[in-house]
Amino acid sequence: MKKIFLVFVLFLGVNMQANEVSYIKINNQQIPVIFEHSSLIPVGFLRLSFLGGGSVNDGELSGLSLLSANLLNEGTKTLGVIKFSEELDKRAIEMSATSGAETLNIEVQFLKEKQEEALKLLGDLLYDPNYSDETLKKIKENAINRLLIKENDFDYIASKNLSTMLFQNTPFAKNMTPATLNKITLEDIKGLINKNFTLSRLVITLGGDMQKDEFLKSLENILSKMPLGIPNTSTKYHANAQSQTKVVYKQTEQTYIYFGAPFNLTNIQDEGYKAKILSFVLGASGFGSRIMEEIRVKRGLAYSAYLRVNIEKMMNYASGYLQTKLENQEQAIALVKEIVARFVQDGITQEELDSAKQFLLGSQPLREETLSQRLEAKFFNYLLGLPLDFNKTQLQQIQEVSLEEINAYIKKHTELNNLSFSIVTLEEKK
């Protein structure tokens, strides 16, 4: 086990640098910069993340952040989507906007020799989005069509209803519909972009074959025209502790069961590694996990089943899934409850702990093989208020934890028994 951990530490030492956040000052605003140099191939990567531009702030206009990102993918007002795409393609530049729960992002990937041209096109997009009624109509129609297709996606329905139950009366309980999308105007999108494309909400992630200071100087020339704005404030949401069940009837030959529960985590630096082991053994590790072993291997009730702990900036919770025959629905639900209750009551075995340690320590290098993976891990740690290289610390914690410690931790989490179930099934004939 020590040999595995040493190999990983050496891997980190060779491939990861700049494990502290640096800052660039633009118009008296300190902007965090996450950077890693890599000269393996002559390419660069840049992501501008605007905190506050994500779906959690859509309010009553569910889908506003998504449509805003989609509009940014339609090029500039001056060139239009086709000509702007041609300018990118002939320089082998990739540029895309995405919307997350908390962030609105623009990513750029480019050849080293096309760095300045990539930055110029980025500037064009930032200050001249393709605001037009024609563009709005197009992105609305595309988004609505995708939603209509999902009306018969039973996994989507069950997952959506689980979120609504777990996070009742929070932004995560709201779902975009054709009606909410149709309400969104061009002015709504302009308002979201103008509110969030500000220096006070910006986090810069970059890496690749570039000179950091030189690149940031060029980037500063573009960003200096951006307003200061108002910093984003983030809220922590808690999953519903009351067990609930929602059943939707569809013409289906299988029962789709999604389930979840609150997970109380106070301090990720002190507890995150224990939560990771708990999640791995209970249901996140596939074959060998308690959920898979009991539901599929021993009883053949489902082809796949999982239950994992989700640790995010705005919420912590456990969620799981299985699909089973219609006649096995009640047995499967009862079994999930029984497995979780027994797990919380009794904890895990030394063999399970050793297996979890071996996998978590040995597989970490594979999760950070590429530059993009490493930058993403650093950005995630930054959002959680952790050191950028916190993964190294967590591996050491996993290495050293004892069976007594992990079982004491598991037995504290009785809230996992407060399971809610979202079910899509066939209605019984009366």
Supply 340's token pair: 């979780």
Q: For residues 67 and 405, give the distance between their C-alpha atoms in angstroms, rounded to a whole number.
A: 47
CA 349 to chain centre: 31
Domains belonging to the chain, first-starting first, are 15-223 (3.30.830.10), 237-425 (3.30.830.10)
Helix (H) or strand (E) holding 54: none
Distances, alpha carbon 67 to alpha carbons 179, 188, 332, 361, in Å:
14, 10, 39, 40
pLDDT score recorded for residue 4: 37
| pLDDT at residue 258, rounded to an integer | 98
pTM of this structure: 0.91
pLDDT of amino acid 11: 38
Give the pLDDT confidence score for residue 14 in this predicted structure.
Answer: 36
The pLDDT, as a whole number, for residue 70 is: 98
Instruction: Report yes or no: 333 and 421 within 8 Å, Cβ to Cβ.
Output: yes
d(CA 324, CA 305): 10
pLDDT at residue 329, as a whole number: 95
The confidence score (pLDDT) of residue 430 equals 62
Distance CA(295)–CA(84), nearest Å, equals 52
Q: What is the pLDDT of residue 205?
A: 98
- Output the pLDDT for position 365: 77
Q: Over the chain (430 residues), what is each successive 10-residue block's mean pLDDT?
A: 36 50 96 95 96 95 98 97 97 97 97 97 98 97 95 94 96 94 97 97 97 96 96 94 96 96 95 96 91 93 94 95 95 97 97 95 83 94 94 94 98 98 89
CA dihedral (75, 80, 66, 62) positive or negative: positive
**64-72 and 133-150 are packed helices; what angle lies between their axes, rounded to 10 degrees?**
120
